[in-house]
Amino acid sequence: MKGSLILALFGISVVLVEPGSYPTHIFTHNARYARDFDNTQSPYFHFSQKLRDIAQKNIRELKCDPEHVAALIERIVNDPHPQLRYVSDLSSWLRMVIQKILPPRLMAAIFRRFIYANK
């Protein structure tokens, strides 16, 4: 029996909200990095810096409003029969569908190519 079905026996509804990426402080002011994140001697230095650059570039280019997620949650709370899962934006939904279709090895290869592009 799945967890949400067990909780339903006690009158508890479980809802999963997948908000995707929105331009909030979690990627900037609230970002925390590992102790040696900026250590140029680390074998992971290029990789870590590339990931941070990609994340910051993506966040700067986002045109989504975080209020959209707040409105979605308000709608869910007021729905007497909410769905189990909500995906708040099209790009997150597409990523979820692609991850279900493509084998994990292919997803990993695409991710590696994306990260190491324009090295």
In sequence order, what are the beta bridge partners of 16?
85
Residues 6-44: tens digit of each pLDDT: 787 888 888 999 888 888 887 777 777 878 888 999 988
Q: How far apart are CA 92 and CA 72, in angstroms?
A: 15
pLDDT of 119 > 80? The answer is: no
Predicted TM-score (pTM) of this structure: 0.64
Measured between alpha carbons, how far is residue 52 from residues 10, 48, 56, 98 in Å? Answer: 43, 6, 6, 23
- The number of beta carbons lying within 10 Å of the beta carbon of residue 104 is 8
Residues 53-77: tens digit of each pLDDT: 888 888 888 888 889 999 999 999 9
Going by C-alpha positions, the residue among 42, 43, 44, 41 that lies closest to residue 52 is: 44
Average pLDDT in the chain: 84
